[in-house]
Amino acid sequence: MNTQANPIEIETDGQGQLEAGFLFASFKNTGITNATVNGVILPPGEAKGYPFVGKAYDAIAYDAVDSTLRILHIL
């Protein structure tokens, strides 16, 4: 059994989703226009986190629209 966390960092200007099963995630809008994370607008310069809560999260969709998102998540 693998007991070590697997952090994954990406930067994207597109859309996608974090698949169900992640333990922690953070999103930062590093662009200059609004992005969308989990159906909520994320203004430029703002960040949103999904902290470890003792169980895995469901999938979360994101769309950088015309901006850039920096995403860190842990499986």
pLDDT in tens, 32-75: 999 999 999 999 999 999 999 999 999 999 999 999 999 999 98
Q: In the prediction, which pLDDT does 59 show?
A: 98
* Every domain of the chain and the residues it spans: 7-74
pLDDT in the model for residue 1:
55
To the question of domain 7-74 being in CATH 2.60.120.10, the answer is yes
Q: Render pLDDT for 20-33 as a digit per residue (tens, 0 to 9).
A: 999 999 999 999 99
Q: Please tell me the predicted confidence (pLDDT) of residue 61.
A: 98
Half-sphere exposure at residue 25, Cβ-oriented, CA atoms within 13 angstroms = 24
Q: Is the pLDDT of residue 5 over 80?
A: yes
User: The sheet that has 40-42: what strands, in order across it?
Assistant: 15-18, 60-63, 35-37, 40-42
